[in-house]
Structure 1
């Protein structure tokens, strides 16, 4: 670090996340493209943008939206996006091995006592007896791509149950939803703002919780190009500070619910600008509230979970055995948990 640590700087924020930041004068109007999915789990970036936290840091941010995690990693490596939040995937790890990307923080996490990602069965599979993960043997499990977070979750769940499942890659979340509704695939796991909405509409059935199989799972990470991590420290630290302020606001409003009812309502309205934009607010609001999982304070990273994920990728032959956490993570930015 140069002159201070991010841990120390973010620690000063504590509960005073609303205090104005002085920013970095050298970064005035620095343009950034931030990759995101239209998920409640990406809310920290949306809050940082809408409440001016990026601007406070001298960052002029625009979003580029994706429909799956792996294409986002490719965009970071190619320079089509500067920072992003997504799950650890085989694609992200392979790009890190090539010296193209680095994880610099943590974002969404499974936490005991907070509704997290849910395991779903199609109605057809449920009626045929798939009423819990214990009946997954011989079933199909939807993933976007091989080596995606869906593949990791499905494999860990099936392994815990001693089940043999077939993974069906469908590329996009929207395609998976359609396949679940039509019974073309039997099972899937997804964040609660999607899972609860589908189950509540009777389109699928909830049969379990991911946290019961992967406790303290580091679902998503903050990452950037290796070039930014190594040579754009001021910019990367500024991004993380703004992102962390957004996460603090989100957690207070919708996870810990310490900010009050008005703040919660304001937060849901803010997120609705990006999530479920095709729905009227009254219909979108319950799903957004239902999707409120913990976003790690100060972008802290659960290294134990990262190591477990790397171990799984190796066991599946999806990455090389010599890849380590140092290959993937630039620990000079990271607060651990």
Structure 2
């Protein structure tokens, strides 16, 4: 059985030896897989995730046995930000990680750590954003905050300094005419941000869904702005491979990517044109999110628009460069970053060649 770990709402990591039952695979025709995969010994792969709704591609691949089809025994381990996955990735304790490109990631690679971005994981595009600026409801009700300019002097939460959300905050403050030293930043996990908005420990944040939606649903916060209004196409999260996985388990890296893209395509098939789950396919994906994700209420996953993930795994290179430019301006980078040395699309190229270009199932 595959084990996983989870977070409580308060953000305290609790190790749980929970058995995750396999969910029956879809009866839809699936691409033919290389038969020798099942005959080989299962390879253990540890996957770090932020435990957000946009981890759905990994969850589906796990639940429907796509990783097992590839001879991979995948353990899903939540972290509060991608920045905190860098050390275990570099040591080989994690083979794969999912999260936002961070200044820490770029600095690690510049220092010689063998980490590479290998595919899309989550992208905010116009009308498809998993991230919104949410403000403590009391501040809005009292009239203290009416526009983004009123955020001056308040306290906000980021997953970690220099995380991908930093670019969003940078653009927010630039748009509002606020200097970075005119607001106070604190670091905490996304579930902790919900609790902090409820308690008044922070004033605003940009937690990815479902955390943002939960804060609104509980009456702790209101939406001030959509993430795509700040950056129309923002590569907020990627799939990362560690150097040992790339160099010593290249075949397993290819197979992981093929399984992941099958999961991504399944959840794309389950979404309507507005990014909402629809029909029996949508019901099935929501069931998986309830089992694997941070919240057990299916209505939470139906209450927001799921961010875009490219079913062919492509990255938004322009967005990644924008992040690098912002980190450079904020003096968070130790040296210039060459994206060509950070990105490795060979795994996606192989997987798409095997699966064929995505065509939405009807």
TM-score, normalised relative to structure 2: 0.80
Match of 1:88 in 2: 101
Shift of 1:78: 1.8
Larger relative helix fraction? 1
State whether residues 255 and 294 of structure 1, in contact with CA within 8 Å, keep that contact through their aligned partners in structure 2.
Answer: no
Shift of 1:39: 1.2
Residues 195 and 23 of structure 1: is their aligned pair in 2 closer, same or farther, counting only changes over 3 Å? farther
Match of 1:148 in 2: 163
Match of 1:122 in 2: 136
SS state at 2:235 partner = coil
Match of 2:118 in 1: 104
Shift of 1:27: 5.5
Match of 1:261 in 2: 279
Counterpart of 1:161 (choices 169, 172, 176) is 176
Q: Which moved more, 1:16-25 or 1:99-108?
A: 16-25
The count of aligned residue pairs is: 316
Shift of 1:268: 0.5
Q: What does 1:1-337 correspond to in 2, within 5 Å?
A: 18-22=30-34, 25=37, 28-97=41-110, 98-126=112-140, 127-164=142-179, 165-254=182-271, 256=273, 261-277=279-295, 279=296, 284-289=297-302, 290=304, 292-333=306-347
Q: Which moved more, 1:95-104 or 1:325-334?
A: 325-334
SS state at 1:120 partner = strand
State whether residues 156 and 213 of structure 1, in contact with CA within 8 Å, keep that contact through their aligned partners in structure 2.
Answer: yes
CA distance in 1, matches of 2:158, 2:29: 37
Residues 238 and 317 of structure 1: is their aligned pair in 2 closer, same or farther, counting only changes over 3 Å? same
State whether residues 120 and 189 of structure 1, in contact with CA within 8 Å, keep that contact through their aligned partners in structure 2.
Answer: yes
CA distance in 2, matches of 1:318, 1:89: 10
Residues 198 and 260 of structure 1: is their aligned pair in 2 closer, same or farther, counting only changes over 3 Å? closer
State whether residues 46 and 94 of structure 2, in contact with CA within 8 Å, keep that contact through their aligned partners in structure 1.
Answer: yes
CA distance in 2, matches of 1:271, 1:235: 25
State whether residues 40 and 291 of structure 1, in contact with CA within 8 Å, keep that contact through their aligned partners in structure 2.
Answer: no
CA distance in 1, matches of 2:127, 2:139: 28
CA distance in 2, matches of 1:276, 1:41: 11
Over the aligned positions, Cα root-mean-square deviation in angstroms equals 2.4
State whether residues 129 and 307 of structure 2, in contact with CA within 8 Å, keep that contact through their aligned partners in structure 1.
Answer: yes
CA distance in 1, matches of 2:80, 2:323: 22
CA distance in 2, matches of 1:134, 1:296: 34
CA distance in 2, matches of 1:307, 1:314: 10
CA distance in 1, matches of 2:40, 2:183: 49
State whether residues 69 and 87 of structure 1, in contact with CA within 8 Å, keep that contact through their aligned partners in structure 2.
Answer: yes
SS state at 1:295 partner = coil
Residues 23 and 73 of structure 1: is their aligned pair in 2 closer, same or farther, counting only changes over 3 Å? farther
Q: Which moved more, 1:216-225 or 1:267-276?
A: 267-276
TM-score, normalised relative to structure 1: 0.86
SS state at 1:218 partner = strand
Superposed CA offset, 1:52-84 (max 9, x none): 111121212111222222222222112221111
SS state at 2:271 partner = helix
Shift of 1:179: 2.1
